[in-house]
Amino acid sequence: MLAPRTTLGICLIGAGFMGRAHSAAYRHAMAMPSVSPGIRLQTIVGLNAEQRDTVRDLFGWHAAASDWRAAVRQPDIDIVDVATPTNLHAEIAIAAAESGKHVLCEKPLAMMSAETERMLAAVRKAKVRHAVAFNYRFVPALALARQLIEEGRLGMIRHFRARYLQDWLVDPLAPMTWRLDKETAGSGVHGDLNAHLIDLAHFLVGPIDTVVGDSMTFVRERHNAKSGLTGSVTVDDATSFLARFRGGAMGVFEASRMATGSKNRNQLEIEGDRGAIGFDLERLNELQFYSTDDPPHVRGFRTILVTEPDHPHLADWWPPGHMLGWEHAHAALIGAFLNDIETGSSVAPTFEDGVACQRVLEAVELSTFTRQWVSAGCS
């Protein structure tokens, strides 16, 4: 394992949407008082030269490159951040680990469980630190939800209800992208958005035991702007499933990129025998909380504005009432991973969490074909 250094060199592979998001998060992390090591934005890697150079110039990367294999071997690189299409995750992460680099990888961790197992084996063998970009764990309201659950404020959890809805594919004329091709994405909205819900379920409630699911592709062909041809959509537009948790709770999950009017609606409801919570990413600074400890005549959901400096992940930011945005969770995730490398702590979600998520994703996919309940195989 690499010895902690004052400054950690970063190689980010992928200059698209998530490459920009991670670049912005590193810039934020540089100014976060809680982050122990310094970082150097060394190399941004991408195949599209114009896109790659734009990200380099906008965020201050020292170098830009097109060959990720050469980049991950450079001695001035300590961390490899994988923000590529899913089909490249395993190869890049394994090569980075074999080069002695710490690895941060976007979700879902890989195309299938067998790949995630190889990735986990590689980072363990190399004794490098590893993390998956489950950024929503670091939304302060959701971190507060976990705190309330751990304090017993909800009592025995009975229900976990989650939906992640977007509408960017509602228009049948929306163009074909790599996210709609199973060969590059692995799955559609299931791996893209249900992966977040599954990880939050594990983070807040515990392991998922069994699942039964259904999926649908509503628009089966889309125009490819690059080739000018019509391409087949080979992934799901919407996937829903029921779940039973190891601890006895019931779960309901829904993800769709065809939900008209929903821009980024990641909503959770959790109910126990002593209380309940509710969260909506489109109001990410708020947590709804209900407690049976309140006197009956004033009992009801209260809105907690999660902006106090003693709320989770907020000591680095602004005075109370000054709202955070979507990008701050990425910064907190990256800050946690940097601190894990420096201090040996384990705050950021790891490849083990990515493996557990992938097992549930695959169990749901199997269930959609067999029309039966399937074991998720999570420990």
Predicted pLDDT of residue 4: 44
State residue 372 phi and psi, 5-degree precision.
Answer: -135, 160
Alpha carbon distance 77, 85 (integer Å): 22
Q: What is the mean pLDDT of residues 53-62?
A: 97
Residues of the chain by 3-state class (helix, strand, coil), percent to 5: 35, 25, 40
Q: What is the mean pLDDT of residues 294-307?
A: 97
With bands split at pLDDT 50, 70 and 90, how would you rate the model's confidence at 181?
Answer: very high
Q: Is the pLDDT of residue 226 over 80?
A: no
**Which DSSP string corresponds to 190-219?**
IIIIIHHHHHHHHHHT--EEEEEEEEE-S-
Q: What is the DSSP letter of 273?
A: S
Flag the least confident range among 121-125, 181-185, 354-358.
181-185
pLDDT range class, residue 29, cuts 50, 70, 90? very high
CATH number of 7-135, picked from 3.30.210.10, 2.40.110.10, 3.40.50.620, 3.40.50.720 = 3.40.50.720
Share of the chain above pLDDT 70, in %: 98
Is it the case that residue 350 has pLDDT exceeding 80? Answer: yes
Instruction: Give the residue-averaged pLDDT of 283-305.
Output: 97
3-state secondary structure of 23: helix
Render pLDDT for 273-290 as a digit per residue (tens, 0 to 9): 999 999 999 999 999 999
Average pLDDT in the 160-166 region?
A: 98
Q: What per-residue confidence (pLDDT) applies to 163? A: 98
Question: Residue 377: pLDDT above 90?
Answer: no
Tens digits of residue pLDDT in 316-344:
999 999 999 999 999 999 999 999 999 99
- The answer to whether the Cα torsion of 14, 17, 23, 29 is positive or negative is negative
140-283+285-324+349-370: CATH topology: Dihydrodipicolinate Reductase; domain 2 (3.30.360)
Residue 361 to residue 136: CA distance in whole angstroms: 18
What distance, in Å, lies between the first and last C-alpha atoms of the chain?
Answer: 27
Query: How many CA within 13 A on the CB side of residue 248?
Result: 7
pLDDT at 376 over 80: yes
How high is the pLDDT of residue 379?
Answer: 59
Question: How would you classify the pairing of strands 250-256 and 265-272?
Answer: unpaired
Spatial distance between the Cα atoms of 106 and 334, rounded to a whole number of angstroms = 12
How confident is the model at residue 17, as a pLDDT? 95
Give the integer Cα–Cα distance in Å for 130 and 97: 9
| CA distance readout (Å), 272 to 148, 154, 194, 275, 312 | 11, 5, 23, 5, 22
Predicted pLDDT at 225:
79
Structural domain boundaries in the chain: 7-135, 140-283+285-324+349-370
The answer on pLDDT for 251 being more than 90 is yes
pLDDT-derived band of residue 259, with 50, 70 and 90 as boundaries? very high
Q: How far apart are CA 56 and CA 311, in angstroms?
A: 34
For residues 158-183, give the mean pLDDT: 95
Sign of dihedral through CA atoms 133, 11, 264, 329? Answer: positive
